[in-house]
Structure 1
Amino acid sequence: MKFLIYDSVLPWALDVARNKGIEGGPFFTQSCAVTAVLYHVAQGAFQVPVEESDQAAVSLPSLENLEFNDLPSFVCDAGSYAAIRELLLGQFSNFLEARWLIWNNFNELEVEVVNWMRINKWPIKPIGPMIPSMFLDKRLGDDKDYGLNLFKPNSDGIVTKEEVERCIREVLESERSNAIRGNSDKLKRLAKMAVDIGGSSDKNIEEFVTE
């Protein structure tokens, strides 16, 4: 083993790796924007808790003004979800000591935030989207399942036909249907370009392996 990739909420894994004489880096599954918000909370960049009455709750570099409902619950209510708050903010205890910060994302999806991270010397390597190959480049024929249920189950854990119908109608018939499908097509093209040979994520993976 030459490099340990660990979940970003387990920062102690970097110390374990180095004690074994190897390098390590966290793998972030949340978006770069969410991570940036959490980082600024950890740095004390704005007052917590944020008040619901604030029209533009928070203004942060590389992000549009964030409203109250855009923020994590523990930012709006300082007494809530203390364990989750500690876990998420703990990601930043030593993350800049890591060789690489690996992301389930791709450059083209969050250009402004990725650029801000790089300007601020975050050693970021977006290698996503990490979804089954069959949805993107189809290079891995048996890679079809990613274990995510797109539908909302009821209290018994069952996805009803009414729920499936609601989701389909939302995409096909609602006032937002054209925008939803347009955005979906755009994101699919960008994601496919990122993982294709020579794409941004493909290059990042190649560079990571080489170094």
Structure 2
Amino acid sequence: MESVAAGVPIIGCPQWTDQPTNAKLVTDVWGVGVKLKMNSGVISGEEVGKCVEEVMSGPRSEEFRKNALQLKTVAREGLADGGSSDNNIKMFVNEVISSCSSHSKQI
């Protein structure tokens, strides 16, 4: 998420939990990077070099940078005052407060 917020392309190396899902989003949905390929649980230096080359100067490098900058803009808008994240956290807090108030009246 830090890379998205910074607007930079990503080279993913998913290992466990939510990382494979995040790598799928990075590569296939958002189009902001590539995923390292492992061979028997090992990533070669050659593979790392290939991915760096692909992100930095490969045929899709401009697309990666353009998409990353667009995501940066959207992420910052969502975090700004009145943005979707700001509004959602306020709604959540208000709901928790309301729920606590209702619960304490019932006791």
Compute the TM-score of the two structures, normalised by the length of structure 2: 0.52
Report SS of the residue matched to 1:197.
coil
Q: Secondary structure at the match of 1:198?
A: coil
1:181 and 2:83 are equivalent in the alignment: no
For 1:188 and 1:195, the matched residues in 2 are separated by: 11
1:204 matched residue in structure 2 = 88
Structure 2 residue aligned with 1:165, among 29, 49, 53? 49
Aligned counterparts, 1:148-159, within 5 A: 148=19, 150-155=35-40, 157-159=41-43
Q: CA deviation at 1:203?
A: 0.8
The total of aligned residue pairs comes to 71
| 1:135 to 1:185, Cα distance in 2 relative to 1, 3 A | closer
Quote how far apart the aligned CAs of 1:198 are: 2.6
Aligned-residue CA RMSD (Å)? 2.9
Q: Label 1:198 to 1:176 Cα distance change in 2 as closer, same or farther (>3 A).
A: same
Deviation at 1:135, TM superposition (A): 6.1
1:51 match: none
**Are the structure 2 counterparts of residues 187 and 135 from structure 1 closer, same or farther at C-alpha, using a change threshold of 3 Å?**
closer
Structure 2 CA distance, aligned partners of 1:201 and 1:195?
A: 5
Q: Which has the higher helix share?
A: 2
- Greater relative contact order, per chain length (Cα 8 Å cut-off, separation 6+): 2
Identity, in percent, stands at 39
Using the size of structure 1 for normalisation, the TM-score is 0.29
Distance 2:4 2:62 in 1: 21
Between the aligned partners of 2:60 and 2:5, the Cα distance in structure 1 is: 25
Distance 2:38 2:89 in 1: 36
Provide the rounded CA distance (Å) in 2 between the counterparts of 1:135 and 1:173: 19
Q: Give 5+ residue unaligned stretches, structure 1.
A: 1-130, 138-146
**Partner residue of 1:24?**
none
